[in-house]
Structure 1
Amino acid sequence: MLSLPRRGRGLFSGGPGVRRRPLADVDWLLWGIPLAMVLVAGILIASTQRQADYADWYQHWVTGAVGMGLALLLARMPLERLLPFKWVIYGALVASLVAVRIVGVSALGAQSWINIGGFYVQPSEFAKLGAILLLAQVLARHPIERPVDLVRPVSLIGLPWLLVFIQPDLGSSLVFGAVLLVTLFWAGMPGAWVVLLLSPLVSAIAAGTLPWLLIGWIPLVGWLAWSSLPWKRVVLAVSVAVQGLFAVLTPWLWEHGLRPHQRDRLTLFLDPGQDPLGGGYHLLQSTVGIGSGQLWGTGLMQGSLTKLRFIPEQHTDFIFSALGEETGFIGSVLVVVGFVLLMWRLLQIAGRARTDYESLVVVGIGAMLMFQVVVNINMTIGLGPITGIPLPFLSYGRSAMLMNFMALGLCASVARRGRSSQSRW
């Protein structure tokens, strides 16, 4: 491996006679976009609570400031220092998820929080980051070259996924799956294997919606397994059997594995008018609020639906509806573009990382953030089911905010030590 030149006292190092600008090396995309979103979100949260006897907007800003401080500390620490503690971190996150089942606090249909000194902490948020760190280390040491190589990473991610799923927190459990698939692909797993891993989900959805699709889908999956995996007859039989098993079990799991409010969340987005005063109420009011913003919006703190609190829990999962109403199409597009630029910057950092471990950590973090962005925005505009996934840096939530900034701090650490970097932080 070629070593980077050590920092000297030359023209670009701030030598004698050269004054460096204090902010010349700041990574404006990595830090500026999240901070701008936190600032705007505080105003939106204040707008959603104008008629309430409580206010969370200043807590959102305080949490963002604390998170930024933690991020800057992590940005100064090489990721290699975390490697000796990987199993300690993993054990702590699993223990915290088990503790949720024992002493956790229930809210909004899920037992996901622990009360620590008056502060409600959501361990599943920090479990996402802990799982990414361990998964990246495992995949860096054991790349995906054979099907058996999948056993280790799937097992490691499967335990926290299961503990989160049974809380039940369907949204966070989906994030674990997205992170696993993206990091596996980045670690060298063929694209055909990604399709095979997703195929049981497709079979389950088809069995519950359009069963006739299985006539073509199951043979296609069998052919894909035959053409991309060894032991062709075995994998063909196993893949077809798995698809059939999921297709048969889906109706039973739908009735007995999910609670009524979870089933409503997954289906009512197709026709929220079926239950306009119940499960479809959030979606109807959210789309009306976003549509009422038109091109430029009503102005910050001026949204009528937001002011009158037509949308329950708008300051958390449905904060994008307040953004759409008060900043309009232009403001909504700017936020989406901001997330795209942030993801582009993370991909740059991952591509220039010095080690596979650092690259996989950044990719895992990028997958975590962007999956939540896509699912949350689709949810609020009526193009996806309500899954309880917050919008990073915009939705109110102290645990999620701290975890997101800590994740950015790790990415900044990789950027500072990456190939062709100019000591940006």
Structure 2
Amino acid sequence: MLSQLGRRNPRFFSGRSSRRNPLADVDLILWGVPLAMVAIAGILIASTQRQANYADWYQHWVTAAVGVVVALLLARMPLDRLIPFKWPIYIAMVASLVAVRVVGTSALGAQSWINIGGFYVQPSEFAKVGAILLLAEVLARHPVDRPVDLIRPVGLIALPWLLVFVQPDLGSSLVFGAVLLVMLFWAGMPGAWVVLLLSPLVAAIVAGTLPWLLLGWVPLMGWLAWKSLPWKRVALAISLAVQGIFAIATPWLWEHGLRPHQRARLTLFLDPAQDPLGGGYHLLQSTVGIGSGQIWGTGLMQGSLTKLRFIPEQHTDFIFSALGEETGFLGSVLVVAGFALLMWRLLQIAGRARSDYEALVVVGIGAMLMFQVVVNINMTIGLGPITGIPLPWLSYGRSAMLVNFISLGLCVSAARRGRTAQGRW
């Protein structure tokens, strides 16, 4: 393999070339965007801790440094070498999630962490990557051409998804669903099937908010099932039954399936002022902080709301509010543009990947990262419920940071081996 790499790109092993221009073979988008995010995040986290009796902001950079080393190691390993380990990875993933239920540590209303030698590890973060690797291998060998082809990938993701959901970690469980749908679509599933898979969720939401819309939604999904699925009468009957079950079961699930703080998170974003000192406090303070930054921001380490810690846990899920206050609209737009540029690069890599497996891994990672970006930013600006999803490379969190760099290393590996690659890493 090394000889093949050398023949394709002799400069890869040329000491003179690397010394002359050490950045010539570095993918500046793949590496530059995450590292820039980490750099600014360390300063923002330090700003949130100015009035605290502790200062561990530097650990964000320390964890990132460890992550960079891991990413560099993974970048030099062909992704197909991970295929033989798919089942050990899956078993370890499920076992760790079960261990959380048995010996896990609770914080902020969820039992999601395991204490290992004084370090708190969040298995649900690592489970996201494990699920992507397994789904990529399964979908590469078994593309989704028939409805029956959905049984295998959905069945594999169902167990880790359920274990994460009952922690309860609603945010991470949503990530599993988003990754599954995007990877299924990339693997050949028709777009109409994606809509049908999402339709029960829509029916549940409509049943709890505007039930009269079910008169149009249920027949529409029945028609879509009739048009896009085989065994049309069976498909129509199943579609109508599923829509009806979710619509009827929604009130019971709302009362007994979710805890009070989860129900509040899902509804208070519509009117946070109804509980300004309770569930709506985070959102109200976050939007005030972002708005106070205006165009140019107050300046790094100069945000008043950030300094006085008006937003609890701002260094984790609400780090975007510190960004908005201290760097303003301009800084916020640059961060969003950076994530968009990163996603564009990941789609390029997936399209040029040497194998379906590598393409699916990159697509799954892209879906995981961008779903977290969209949900996190929307919740901090009041356009979505508070779900506890971190902002990649910006939110403080050791497990999330390591997973982000593991994902980066896997994508860099796929980029280096792409059909039109020139040895870039």
TM > 0.5 fold call:
yes
Query: Deviation at 1:22?
Result: 1.4
**Is 1:372–1:392's contact at 8 Å kept on the other side of the alignment?**
yes
Structure 1 stretches of 4+ moved >2 Å: 4-20
Query: Deviation at 1:20?
Result: 4.6
1:351 aligned residue: 351
CA-to-partner distance for each residue in 1:344-382, whole Å, 9 max, x for gaps? 111111011000000000000000000000000000000
Query: Deviation at 1:12?
Result: 6.2
How many residues end up aligned between the 2 structures? 422
Cα pair distance change 1:222/1:63, threshold 3 Å = same
- Give the SS at the match of 1:243: helix
**Is 1:14–1:20's contact at 8 Å kept on the other side of the alignment?**
no
> Separation in 1 of the partners of 2:64 and 2:415?
21
Give identity over the alignment, percent: 83
What are the ranges of 5 or more consecutive residues in structure 1 without an aligned counterpart? none
2:172 aligned residue: 172
CA-to-partner distance for each residue in 1:74-116, whole Å, 9 max, x for gaps? 0000111111110000000000000000000000000000000
**Is 2:12–2:423's contact at 8 Å kept on the other side of the alignment?**
no
**Is 1:9–1:15's contact at 8 Å kept on the other side of the alignment?**
no
Query: Deviation at 1:17?
Result: 8.7
Query: Deviation at 1:8?
Result: 3.7
**Is 2:111–2:168's contact at 8 Å kept on the other side of the alignment?**
yes
**Is 2:9–2:423's contact at 8 Å kept on the other side of the alignment?**
no
Q: How does 1:173-212 map to 2 (within 5 A)?
A: 173-212=173-212
- Give the SS at the match of 1:25: coil
> Separation in 2 of the partners of 1:408 and 1:174?
21
> Separation in 2 of the partners of 1:377 and 1:9?
42
> Separation in 1 of the partners of 2:339 and 2:157?
26
**Is 1:79–1:358's contact at 8 Å kept on the other side of the alignment?**
yes
2:219 aligned residue: 219
CA-to-partner distance for each residue in 1:238-287, whole Å, 9 max, x for gaps? 10010000000000000000000000000000000110000000000000
> Separation in 1 of the partners of 2:357 and 2:394?
29
1:123 aligned residue: 123
What are the ranges of 5 or more consecutive residues in structure 2 without an aligned counterpart? none
Residue identity matched to 1:126: F
Query: Deviation at 1:7?
Result: 3.6
Query: Deviation at 1:55?
Result: 1.5
Q: C-alpha root-mean-square deviation of aligned residues, in Å? A: 1.5
Q: How does 1:18-417 map to 2 (within 5 A)?
A: 20-417=20-417
CA-to-partner distance for each residue in 1:29-87, whole Å, 9 max, x for gaps? 00011011101000000000100011121000000000000000000001111111100
> Separation in 1 of the partners of 2:251 and 2:316?
32
Residue identity matched to 2:199: S
> Separation in 2 of the partners of 1:400 and 1:282?
22
Residue identity matched to 1:68: V
> Separation in 2 of the partners of 1:63 and 1:254?
38
Residue identity matched to 1:341: L
Query: Deviation at 1:220?
Result: 0.3
Query: Deviation at 1:21?
Result: 1.4
> Separation in 2 of the partners of 1:16 and 1:325?
46
Cα pair distance change 1:132/1:285, threshold 3 Å = same
- Give the SS at the match of 2:192: helix
TM-score by length of 2: 0.97
Cα pair distance change 1:10/1:383, threshold 3 Å = closer
> Separation in 2 of the partners of 1:46 and 1:368?
27
> Separation in 2 of the partners of 1:72 and 1:6?
17
TM-score by length of 1: 0.97
